Amino acid sequence: MKKKRAYWNKPWPKNLLSALGKVRDKELAKRFGLNVSTVRDKRRELGIPLLDTRWKPTPAMIALLGKETDGSLAKRWKVSLDRVRLLRLRKGIPACNPNAVVWKPEAIELLGKVSDEEVARQFKMKPVSVRNKRIELGLPPAPRAHTWTTEMDESLGQEPDTTWAKLWHINAESVRKRRITLGILPYREGHGLTWNQAMLEQLGKISDRKFAGVWGIAPQTVALKHQP
Protein backbone atom coordinates (compact mmCIF):
# COMPACT_ATOMS: atom_id res chain seq x y z
CA MET A 1 0.00 0.00 0.00
CA LYS A 2 1.35 3.39 -1.03
CA LYS A 3 2.28 5.61 1.93
CA LYS A 4 1.02 9.14 2.13
CA ARG A 5 3.60 11.85 2.09
CA ALA A 6 4.35 13.36 5.48
CA TYR A 7 2.85 16.64 6.61
CA TRP A 8 5.19 19.59 6.10
CA ASN A 9 6.73 20.35 9.52
CA LYS A 10 9.51 22.61 8.35
CA PRO A 11 9.66 26.32 7.63
CA TRP A 12 7.96 27.03 4.34
CA PRO A 13 10.49 27.99 1.63
CA LYS A 14 10.03 31.43 0.13
CA ASN A 15 9.76 30.03 -3.38
CA LEU A 16 6.96 27.72 -2.25
CA LEU A 17 5.09 30.50 -0.46
CA SER A 18 5.45 32.86 -3.42
CA ALA A 19 3.98 30.21 -5.73
CA LEU A 20 0.79 29.73 -3.70
CA GLY A 21 -2.22 30.84 -5.73
CA LYS A 22 -0.04 31.25 -8.82
CA VAL A 23 0.53 27.55 -9.47
CA ARG A 24 -2.10 24.88 -8.99
CA ASP A 25 -2.11 23.26 -5.53
CA LYS A 26 -1.71 19.84 -7.11
CA GLU A 27 1.35 20.92 -9.06
CA LEU A 28 3.00 22.49 -6.00
CA ALA A 29 2.31 19.40 -3.93
CA LYS A 30 3.98 17.22 -6.52
CA ARG A 31 6.93 19.58 -6.90
CA PHE A 32 7.70 19.76 -3.13
CA GLY A 33 6.62 16.24 -2.12
CA LEU A 34 3.58 17.27 -0.12
CA ASN A 35 -0.05 16.29 0.16
CA VAL A 36 -2.39 18.48 -1.87
CA SER A 37 -4.36 19.17 1.32
CA THR A 38 -1.20 20.54 2.99
CA VAL A 39 -0.65 23.04 0.21
CA ARG A 40 -4.33 23.93 0.10
CA ASP A 41 -4.52 24.51 3.87
CA LYS A 42 -1.46 26.76 3.85
CA ARG A 43 -2.84 28.80 0.98
CA ARG A 44 -6.14 29.24 2.80
CA GLU A 45 -4.31 30.10 6.02
CA LEU A 46 -2.58 32.96 4.21
CA GLY A 47 -5.85 34.08 2.61
CA ILE A 48 -4.60 33.39 -0.92
CA PRO A 49 -7.41 32.57 -3.39
CA LEU A 50 -7.39 29.43 -5.51
CA LEU A 51 -5.69 29.79 -8.88
CA ASP A 52 -8.32 30.36 -11.55
CA THR A 53 -7.16 28.16 -14.40
CA ARG A 54 -9.95 29.31 -16.70
CA TRP A 55 -8.75 31.29 -19.71
CA LYS A 56 -10.16 34.79 -19.77
CA PRO A 57 -9.45 36.50 -23.09
CA THR A 58 -9.45 40.28 -22.97
CA PRO A 59 -11.30 42.54 -25.45
CA ALA A 60 -7.94 43.30 -27.07
CA MET A 61 -7.32 39.59 -27.59
CA ILE A 62 -10.80 39.06 -29.04
CA ALA A 63 -10.15 41.94 -31.45
CA LEU A 64 -7.25 39.97 -32.94
CA LEU A 65 -9.35 36.90 -33.77
CA GLY A 66 -9.54 36.37 -37.51
CA LYS A 67 -6.84 38.95 -38.14
CA GLU A 68 -4.04 36.53 -37.33
CA THR A 69 -4.01 32.76 -37.65
CA ASP A 70 -5.33 30.71 -34.74
CA GLY A 71 -1.93 29.04 -34.43
CA SER A 72 -0.10 32.35 -34.17
CA LEU A 73 -2.46 33.63 -31.48
CA ALA A 74 -2.34 30.36 -29.52
CA LYS A 75 1.43 30.52 -29.44
CA ARG A 76 1.45 34.16 -28.35
CA TRP A 77 -1.14 33.64 -25.62
CA LYS A 78 0.31 30.29 -24.54
CA VAL A 79 -2.96 28.42 -24.82
CA SER A 80 -4.04 25.49 -26.94
CA LEU A 81 -4.97 25.92 -30.60
CA ASP A 82 -8.40 24.45 -29.88
CA ARG A 83 -9.11 27.14 -27.29
CA VAL A 84 -8.43 29.92 -29.77
CA ARG A 85 -10.37 28.21 -32.55
CA LEU A 86 -13.37 27.55 -30.29
CA LEU A 87 -13.42 31.16 -29.08
CA ARG A 88 -13.27 32.47 -32.65
CA LEU A 89 -16.11 30.18 -33.75
CA ARG A 90 -18.25 31.19 -30.78
CA LYS A 91 -17.77 34.83 -31.75
CA GLY A 92 -18.74 34.02 -35.34
CA ILE A 93 -15.44 35.31 -36.73
CA PRO A 94 -14.07 33.74 -39.97
CA ALA A 95 -10.58 32.26 -39.82
CA CYS A 96 -7.64 34.32 -40.98
CA ASN A 97 -6.36 33.17 -44.35
CA PRO A 98 -2.77 34.39 -44.82
CA ASN A 99 -3.04 33.56 -48.54
CA ALA A 100 -6.20 35.58 -49.09
CA VAL A 101 -5.90 38.25 -51.77
CA VAL A 102 -6.51 41.84 -50.71
CA TRP A 103 -8.20 43.47 -53.68
CA LYS A 104 -7.36 47.08 -54.43
CA PRO A 105 -9.99 49.21 -56.22
CA GLU A 106 -7.62 49.81 -59.13
CA ALA A 107 -7.16 46.06 -59.59
CA ILE A 108 -10.91 45.42 -59.65
CA GLU A 109 -11.28 48.25 -62.16
CA LEU A 110 -9.07 46.33 -64.63
CA LEU A 111 -10.98 43.05 -64.42
CA GLY A 112 -12.45 42.15 -67.80
CA LYS A 113 -10.63 45.03 -69.46
CA VAL A 114 -7.18 43.46 -69.61
CA SER A 115 -6.23 39.81 -69.44
CA ASP A 116 -6.32 37.97 -66.13
CA GLU A 117 -2.62 37.27 -66.55
CA GLU A 118 -1.86 40.99 -66.90
CA VAL A 119 -3.81 41.86 -63.74
CA ALA A 120 -2.01 39.06 -61.91
CA ARG A 121 1.37 40.38 -63.10
CA GLN A 122 0.67 43.99 -62.14
CA PHE A 123 -0.62 43.22 -58.65
CA LYS A 124 1.53 40.15 -57.92
CA MET A 125 -1.31 37.65 -57.69
CA LYS A 126 -1.97 34.21 -59.06
CA PRO A 127 -3.90 34.21 -62.38
CA VAL A 128 -6.41 31.75 -60.92
CA SER A 129 -7.20 34.25 -58.12
CA VAL A 130 -7.86 36.96 -60.70
CA ARG A 131 -10.03 34.64 -62.78
CA ASN A 132 -12.08 33.58 -59.75
CA LYS A 133 -12.64 37.19 -58.71
CA ARG A 134 -13.70 38.18 -62.22
CA ILE A 135 -16.18 35.30 -62.38
CA GLU A 136 -17.44 36.18 -58.89
CA LEU A 137 -18.25 39.69 -60.16
CA GLY A 138 -19.91 38.29 -63.29
CA LEU A 139 -17.43 39.90 -65.68
CA PRO A 140 -16.51 38.32 -69.04
CA PRO A 141 -12.85 37.82 -69.89
CA ALA A 142 -11.08 40.64 -71.67
CA PRO A 143 -10.69 40.26 -75.44
CA ARG A 144 -7.35 38.65 -76.13
CA ALA A 145 -4.71 40.59 -78.02
CA HIS A 146 -4.88 39.75 -81.69
CA THR A 147 -2.41 40.18 -84.52
CA TRP A 148 -4.16 41.89 -87.37
CA THR A 149 -3.08 41.19 -90.92
CA THR A 150 -3.58 43.41 -93.95
CA GLU A 151 -6.03 40.88 -95.38
CA MET A 152 -8.13 40.96 -92.22
CA ASP A 153 -8.16 44.76 -92.19
CA GLU A 154 -9.34 44.82 -95.80
CA SER A 155 -12.21 42.48 -94.91
CA LEU A 156 -13.65 44.69 -92.20
CA GLY A 157 -17.02 46.21 -93.03
CA GLN A 158 -17.68 43.74 -95.85
CA GLU A 159 -19.51 41.38 -93.49
CA PRO A 160 -20.97 41.84 -89.98
CA ASP A 161 -18.38 42.03 -87.20
CA THR A 162 -19.88 38.93 -85.61
CA THR A 163 -19.30 36.95 -88.80
CA TRP A 164 -15.61 37.82 -88.89
CA ALA A 165 -15.27 37.17 -85.17
CA LYS A 166 -16.61 33.66 -85.65
CA LEU A 167 -14.34 33.00 -88.62
CA TRP A 168 -11.22 34.33 -86.88
CA HIS A 169 -12.08 32.84 -83.47
CA ILE A 170 -11.84 36.16 -81.66
CA ASN A 171 -14.17 38.41 -79.67
CA ALA A 172 -16.69 40.38 -81.75
CA GLU A 173 -15.85 43.45 -79.67
CA SER A 174 -12.24 43.19 -80.82
CA VAL A 175 -13.41 43.21 -84.43
CA ARG A 176 -15.65 46.22 -83.81
CA LYS A 177 -12.88 48.21 -82.12
CA ARG A 178 -10.42 47.42 -84.92
CA ARG A 179 -12.93 48.50 -87.56
CA ILE A 180 -13.63 51.76 -85.74
CA THR A 181 -9.91 52.41 -85.27
CA LEU A 182 -9.43 52.11 -89.04
CA GLY A 183 -12.40 54.38 -89.74
CA ILE A 184 -14.37 51.67 -91.53
CA LEU A 185 -18.15 51.87 -91.43
CA PRO A 186 -20.08 48.83 -90.16
CA TYR A 187 -21.54 46.37 -92.62
CA ARG A 188 -25.05 47.11 -93.83
CA GLU A 189 -27.22 44.74 -95.80
CA GLY A 190 -26.99 45.65 -99.48
CA HIS A 191 -23.89 47.79 -98.99
CA GLY A 192 -21.34 45.03 -98.73
CA LEU A 193 -19.64 43.03 -101.43
CA THR A 194 -22.00 41.88 -104.17
CA TRP A 195 -21.07 38.52 -105.65
CA ASN A 196 -21.84 38.43 -109.36
CA GLN A 197 -22.32 35.28 -111.43
CA ALA A 198 -18.81 35.36 -112.89
CA MET A 199 -17.29 35.49 -109.42
CA LEU A 200 -19.42 32.61 -108.22
CA GLU A 201 -18.46 30.47 -111.22
CA GLN A 202 -14.76 31.06 -110.62
CA LEU A 203 -14.94 30.48 -106.85
CA GLY A 204 -13.08 27.30 -105.94
CA LYS A 205 -11.41 26.89 -109.33
CA ILE A 206 -8.37 28.97 -108.39
CA SER A 207 -6.74 29.67 -105.03
CA ASP A 208 -8.46 32.13 -102.71
CA ARG A 209 -5.44 34.41 -102.80
CA LYS A 210 -5.40 34.49 -106.62
CA PHE A 211 -9.17 34.96 -106.69
CA ALA A 212 -8.83 37.88 -104.29
CA GLY A 213 -6.17 39.47 -106.51
CA VAL A 214 -8.31 39.08 -109.62
CA TRP A 215 -11.39 40.64 -108.08
CA GLY A 216 -9.67 43.12 -105.77
CA ILE A 217 -11.06 41.79 -102.52
CA ALA A 218 -9.56 40.38 -99.34
CA PRO A 219 -8.65 36.65 -99.26
CA GLN A 220 -10.53 36.40 -95.98
CA THR A 221 -13.70 37.43 -97.77
CA VAL A 222 -13.17 34.64 -100.28
CA ALA A 223 -12.58 32.10 -97.52
CA LEU A 224 -15.78 33.22 -95.80
CA LYS A 225 -17.76 32.70 -98.99
CA HIS A 226 -16.78 29.02 -98.98
CA GLN A 227 -18.55 28.51 -95.68
CA PRO A 228 -22.19 27.39 -95.77
Which pLDDT tens digit goes with each residue over 187-200? 765 445 667 787 77
- Summarize pLDDT for 135-178 with one digit per residue, the tens: 888 888 886 667 888 888 888 888 888 888 888 777 788 888 88
pLDDT mean over 89-112: 84
pLDDT mean over 205-217: 75
Which pLDDT score is estimated for 63?
92
**Cα–Cα distance for residue pair 170/147, rounded to 1 Å:** 11
Which residues, in sequence order, are CB contacts of 74 under 8 Å at separation 6+? 80, 81, 83, 84
Instruction: Say how far residue 207 (Cα) sits from the centre of its chain.
Output: 51
pLDDT-based confidence at residue 7 (cuts at 50, 70, 90): low
- Summarize pLDDT for 10-62 with one digit per residue, the tens: 788 888 888 888 888 888 888 888 888 888 998 888 888 887 667 788 999 99
Which pLDDT score is estimated for 60?
92
SS3 68: strand
This prediction's pTM = 0.33
SS (H, E, C) 90-121: HCCCCCCCCCCCCCCHHHHHHECCECHHHHHH
High-pLDDT (> 70) share of the chain, %: 85
Where are the domains positioned within the chain? 1-53, 59-90, 105-136, 150-226
State which amino acid sits at residue 57.
P
SS3 30: helix
DSSP conformational letter for 104: -
